[in-house]
Amino acid sequence: MSSQPALSGVTFAGAGPGSADMLTLGVFRALQQADVVIHDRLVGAEVLDMIPASATRVDAGKEGFGPSTPQSAINALIVGHAGTGARVVRLKGGDPGIFGRLDEEIEALEAAGIPFTILPGLTSATVAAAAIGQSLTKRGRNRGVRIVTGHDIDGFADQDWKGLARAGEVAAIYMGKKASRFLQGRLMMHGASPDTPVTLVENASRPDQRIVRATLCTLADHAAGLTGPAILLYGIAPRAAVQALTDLNEATA
């Protein structure tokens, strides 16, 4: 295996949704070269275990509607460590460019004149779809897929409800667990069928991954029973073979 030169400045790295199997080789190499790793709360334990003991590890976690490190403080941490000449890895769960506040952190580095590199990661939408044996796009079903958030800095996030409510639409909804009743109401108000399939994947790729098959009318009730991070796959249900295996595992648990 060829070696790579040490990355200077700050490397924004996607840790994937949890499992070490979902980590890219580029991100693994960056971690091995890091002097400082600033990570969020969604980075899986298997990935955190790959951080060398010689590296300084900084937890800068955020939680929707819960305790969080302010973004300004995270920006200051990144700039402060990088300003000493340290090789800093900003490790984010999933992909840093999808609801990861990447632009805000890049802007802080640009203002300080600090170089950066971006290493994408596998995002929960594609990993969760694979877990249920489905693709996010399918000929004859949907010509596109929407990636949306359940909430933003102003609270529950408004979307193009009329467009999403059309038959055949598919969306990956991040941070939608606590917004599930809001999502349910808005979509049905705009004409979505109550029978529209929605699959909830909790702790995608991790050992405690859980797949819950729901419909739009049962979405909020199912979401209320989840405790871990979850992504909602709106418009697609688990493939029959995956659902049968899931049912069997739950019955024997």
Question: What is the rounded CA–CA span in Å between residue 48 and residue 142?
Answer: 37
Question: What is the rounded CA–CA span in Å between residue 16 and residue 22?
Answer: 6
Helices 102-112 and 71-82: crossing angle, nearest 10°?
40
Catalytic status, residue 247: no
Question: What is the rounded CA–CA span in Å between residue 166 and residue 143?
Answer: 13
99 contacts 21 by C-beta, under 8 angstroms: no
Q: Around Cβ 72, how many Cβ atoms within 10 Å?
A: 10
Task: Exactly one of 21, 35, 59, 62 is catalytic; name it.
Answer: 62
Q: Around Cβ 6, how many Cβ atoms within 10 Å?
A: 12
Task: Exactly one of 40, 92, 95, 177 is catalytic; name it.
Answer: 40
Enter the tokens of residue 130: 């694979």
175 contacts 99 by C-beta, under 8 angstroms: yes
**How far, rounded to the nearest angstrom, does the alpha carbon of residue 168 sit from its chain's CA centroid?**
24
89 contacts 37 by C-beta, under 8 angstroms: yes
- What's the DSSP call for residue 202? E
Catalytic status, residue 62: yes
- Residues with active-site annotation: 40, 62
